[in-house]
Amino acid sequence: MTVTLRRLLLSRLTFWILITAASVYFLFFYVIPEKRIKLGIDIAGGSYITLGVRLDEAIKNELTERMYDAKTVLADKKGLRPVKHDIENESIIFSFSEPKQAYAAAEFLAEYEKGMIVNSCNANVTMKLTTVEAKRVERDAVESNKSVLTARLNSTGLSEVSVVAYGDRRVVVELPQVDDPRQAKAMIGTAARLEIKPVEDSAASEQELLQRYGGKLPDGMMVIQGPGEEFGKGAALLVPKHTNVTGRQLRSAVVGQGGCTGVEPVVQFQFKPAGAQYFAEMTEKNVGRPLAIIIDGKVISAPTVQEPIRGGSGQISSSSFTMKSARQLALMMKSGAFVAPVDFEEDRHVGPALGWDSVYSGLLACGIGMVLLLLFCLFFYKVAGLLAFIVLLYNLLCSILIFAGLGATLTLPGIAGLILTVGIAVDASILIFERIREELSHGVPLRKAVDTGFNGALPVILDSNITSFLVALVLYWFGAGPIRGFAAAQIVGIVSTIITGLWLLRSFFTYATDVLGVQKIRF
């Protein structure tokens, strides 16, 4: 083996050649065939769904929980039990037997309930959320619904689902590569709100039930249609308007077998400790009476309580259940019920042809830009400019591989960020070349001029790239959608630029001077 060949094999350029060969192999035999780079909705097509969150329902649900909590605390701490409780005009109303009790209750609740305005008048206590607390509840409702949607849609196998809060009351869902989003829309539109209420009375119809009470329902009660298999078709059930046993206390929900035959599909659920206590108290007070299990305002089943249930577990069965529908209900209950229902406000489909037209235009612009960049490098820096352009191509390859390794989603703003970063990356080469030119003009030998050029330009290159990196990091952290895609591409491009611009380009020069013995390079 000759000395030159040995020096070639031991040079830093050999390392980069091996890395390049491995990268090309990885790209063409692993990344491209297995589609390791995921495409965003603006490239691959898909559906945009805009949802409106019913913030008034979020306030109502918050008041319901606070009402039962206040009722329990009043009984435990002060021995005060209201004769009536209800929610009207976004306010909780407790009615007591005498004004003295109402005053004592209001005085206690004003200290106990944070974020609420408490007033007493005669024998009534009124509680209302403050403006600040109401805004917090509304914000939390949007964020909670966003989290529930993310959990539900990811569990369906839809890849790269994006769920983003938009404005004060909207949530935007992006479903890439989904041409028929009916399954996703079915899961989105279902609130999956579980309520368990005791059945106070029942009749064959709502009119018959109303006649029993003189045409007016008792205070705090409502009528709901019962399940046909247990009460007969069209039966009406009298249940409380509000309950403290809801899906918000659920710990788990799974599909199992049970029902009358023992092999029917059922949904088995388990409450958290607080919910288990409420459930135990409800079953203890209603032994021998049916409990209505309600999902989104519809009674799924109404089993009769045989004995108090203290374990905090139960099951939901229905003659209409199939294994698929039971599994879907369990999935939605497990992922969580919406804090507030949602309405479909907009549904747009983006065809992949439109996305690929944009990609084609972007690639064409990239190609033209790269050709112009090559001409610029050759015109001003001759052979050194050609080396800088080769480094840029490797920079682009390195960025694509980093994207694939991270499993990132490539969007049109991301492509724009990559192109911009690769174009700006030539600045590092220009800084280095100008420093080398300056040294050569003073008669410094090429090898020493190369070292001085790279070492002298290093602080400036690092400063500019670190500054850009921090800006991109802030954009990624606080941005959303296209802004995050653009920022992510910039972050990847900056990392790739530092690696290739400082080490690969220097390896070309050291190989030329140390291995090939070049004493002069045209700049």
Question: pLDDT band at 50, cuts 50/70/90?
Answer: confident
Q: For the chain, percent helix, then strand, then coil, each to nearest 5? A: 55, 20, 25
Residue 308 has pLDDT above 70, yes or no: yes
pLDDT > 70 in the chain, percent: 83
Q: Are residues 255 and 394 in the same domain?
A: no
The DSSP letter of residue 116 is E
Q: Are residues 145 and 184 in the same domain?
A: yes
- Boundary residue ending a domain (142, 157, 189): 189
Question: pLDDT band at 1, cuts 50/70/90?
Answer: very low
pLDDT tens, 118-146? 999 889 999 999 999 999 999 988 888 88
The rounded distance, in Å, linking the Cα atoms of 75 and 82 is: 9
Residue 206 has pLDDT above 70, yes or no: yes
Sign of CA dihedral 511, 513, 514, 515: positive
pLDDT tens, 4-27? 555 555 556 677 777 777 777 776
State both tokens at 486: 């653009």
Evaluate whether residue 343 is within a structural domain: no
pLDDT tens, 362-385? 778 778 888 888 888 888 888 888
The rounded distance, in Å, linking the Cα atoms of 46 and 207 is: 49
The rounded distance, in Å, linking the Cα atoms of 514 and 523 is: 19
State both tokens at 348: 């747009």
Query: What is the average pLDDT across 254-278?
Result: 78
Q: Are residues 107 and 244 in the same domain?
A: no
Evaluate whether residue 522 is within a structural domain: no
- Boundary residue ending a domain (276, 302, 320): 320
Q: Are residues 427 and 296 in the same domain?
A: no
Q: Are residues 475 and 419 in the same domain?
A: yes
Residue 3 is predicted with a pLDDT of: 46
- Boundary residue ending a domain (189, 209, 225): 189
The answer to whether the beta carbons of residues 240 and 221 sit under 8 Å apart is yes
- Of the ranges 182-186, 261-265, 269-273, 477-481, the best mean pLDDT one: 269-273
Q: Are residues 130 and 181 in the same domain?
A: yes
Q: Are residues 172 and 196 in the same domain?
A: no
Evaluate whether residue 262 is within a structural domain: yes
Q: Are residues 359 and 504 in the same domain?
A: yes
Evaluate whether residue 334 is within a structural domain: no
436: CATH: 1.20.1640.10
Evaluate whether residue 56 is within a structural domain: yes
Evaluate whether residue 139 is within a structural domain: yes
Domain tally for the chain?
A: 3
Please give the residue range of the domain that contains residue 96: 46-189
Specify the DSSP element, H or E, that contains 60: helix 55-73
Helices and strands, number each (H, E), in the chain: 16, 19
The rounded distance, in Å, linking the Cα atoms of 244 and 221 is: 14
Q: Are residues 9 and 50 in the same domain?
A: no
Among the residue ranges 66-80, 152-166, 408-422, the one predicted with the least confidence is: 152-166
Evaluate whether residue 347 is within a structural domain: no
Q: Are residues 212 and 302 in the same domain?
A: yes
Q: Are residues 418 and 483 in the same domain?
A: yes
Q: Are residues 51 and 40 in the same domain?
A: no
285: CATH: 3.30.1360.200
The DSSP letter of residue 249 is G
The answer to whether the beta carbons of residues 423 and 497 sit under 8 Å apart is no
Query: What is the average pLDDT across 485-512?
Result: 83
**CA neighbor of 487 nearest in space, from 468, 470, 473:** 473
* Full strand arrangement of the beta sheet holding 221-225: 201-203, 236-240, 221-225
Of residues 260 and 413, more confidently modeled? 413
Residue 311 is predicted with a pLDDT of: 76
Evaluate whether residue 344 is within a structural domain: no
